[in-house]
Amino acid sequence: MRFRWDWLSPVLQAPYVPTLGPVHPEVLSVDLFHDVLSAADTGRFLPYDKDRRWFSSKDERVIIKEIIHAPDLTLIPTLSTRGRGTIKLHHFAIAPPDFTDLSRQARCLGNTYGAASAKVIWFHQNPSKARNRIMLKTYAARDQIEQPEHIIELGHCEIADTFPAFADQLGVAGFAFLYQRMSAGCDDGPVLVAVDDDRIVGAVGPLTTLTDAVGVRMVPPQYYAVHPDYRRRGHGRALWKAALAWGLQHGAAYKVLQAQTGAPAEYLYLSEGLATLGFINTRTLSAV
């Protein structure tokens, strides 16, 4: 299977690659899509795959023989075998998805590959109909970012024992997952926390850097949240600036992230001047 860039590039309304997620626009290329295909069915991670931080093998793979590649549509299905299995249909086109047809395809793929659920993921430039906004922060050598005094590393926090309660009360799966890895002795990088009322009320991490597909150092996405009872007190912006300072100190050139539309993080990122690269929508389909 070979992609034609003259077919693929016109329908890429956001810099997103199946199994990798959002990437820098300057990294996006037909070679990157072919790299993903080369890793299908191998279980190995590409060197610049952000998920290699968490697992020993790659769970999600492209189903190469089920790809549809035409001048006005490229549909790339992937399979995750975690749990009962999930099919993801990555829909690259200018026209909106045909959900009736995609539901039919999802059922066929679910039956063929033993997946119990499916979703379609599509991309566009309309913020009013989006679920997530892809954003870019570029670091500049002239940036002067000082870490706020009340933001500290979790490992140096005298009330670190309040982090489990924070993770539990927040109801965000990422922090519960992160705490599980900490409890198992995994060192994924520092976590920065905000403290108020003698408890941890916000966190961002783990902080690390990766080299992208063209050899540029970047900061991969992190878990980032503030307890609802402590929002609008400056903790979110302080955590964001502290994370930026960490990335700058460790030689990062940029950071690509996703923000849920309408969420506090989106408003923060927009106010901080991050560039918008495109929008993502998802819809759950029946796979069985």
| Burial degree of 144 (CB within 10 A; 0-12, 13-18, 19+) | exposed
Distance separating alpha carbons of residues 78 and 75, to the nearest angstrom:
10
The pLDDT value given to residue 4: 97
> Three-state DSSP class for 111?
helix
- Domain contains 155: yes
Question: DSSP assignment, residue 206?
Answer: -
CATH no. for residue 220? 3.40.630.30
Q: What is the pLDDT of residue 32?
A: 97
pTM to 2 decimal places: 0.92
- Same domain for 122 and 184, yes or no, is no
Cα gap 34→80, rounded to integer Å: 19
107 in the same domain as 29: yes
Cβ 219 vs Cβ 209: under 8 Å = yes
125 and 215: one domain? Answer: no
Assigned domain for 75 exists: yes
Alpha-carbon distance 88 to 99, whole Å? 13
Same domain assignment for residues 105 and 79:
yes
Task: For residue 88, tell me if it sits in a domain.
Answer: yes
Per-residue model confidence as pLDDT tens digits over 132-190: 999 999 987 666 666 666 799 998 998 999 999 998 887 666 888 888 898 898 889 99
Query: Would you say the C-alpha torsion 182, 187, 188, 194 has a positive or negative sign?
Result: positive
Radius of gyration of the chain (CA): 20
Q: What is the pLDDT of residues 112-135, one digit of tens each?
A: 999 999 999 999 988 877 889 999
In a domain, 80, yes or no: yes
Average pLDDT, the chain: 91
pLDDT of the residue at 263: 87
Residue 61: domain span: 5-130+282-286
Same domain as 119, residue 10: yes
Q: Are residues 123 and 186 in the same domain?
A: no
Whether residue 287 has pLDDT greater than 70: no
The values of phi and psi at residue 222, to 5°, are -125, 165
Establish if 275 belongs to a structural domain.
no
Judge if 179 and 94 occupy the same domain: no
Q: Is residue 264 part of a domain?
A: no
**Do residues 78 and 151 both lie within one domain?**
no
Classify residue 266: in a domain, yes or no: no
3-state secondary structure 217-278: EEECCCEEEECHHHCCCCHHHHHHHHHHHHHHHCCCCEEEEEEECCCHHHHHHHHCCCEEEE
**Non-local CB neighbours of 243 within 8 Å, separated by 6+ positions:** 192, 204, 205, 207, 219, 222, 224
Residue 167 and residue 63 share a domain: no
Q: Assess whether 84 and 146 both reside in one domain.
A: no
Q: Do 97 and 205 fall within a single domain? A: no
168: left (phi over 0), alpha (psi -120 to 50) or beta: alpha
Task: Determine the pLDDT at residue 80.
Answer: 93
Q: Is residue 234 part of a domain?
A: yes
Report whether 226 contacts 217 (CB < 8 A): no
Same domain for 123 and 162, yes or no, is: no
The number of distinct structural domains making up the chain is 2
Phi-psi region of 242 (alpha: psi -120 to 50; beta: other; left: phi over 0): alpha
| CB proximity list for 118: less than 8 A, separation 6 or greater | 86, 87, 88, 89, 106, 107, 109, 110, 284, 285, 286, 287
Of the listed ranges 29-38, 167-176, 210-219, the least confidently predicted one is: 167-176
Segment 241-245 mean pLDDT: 91
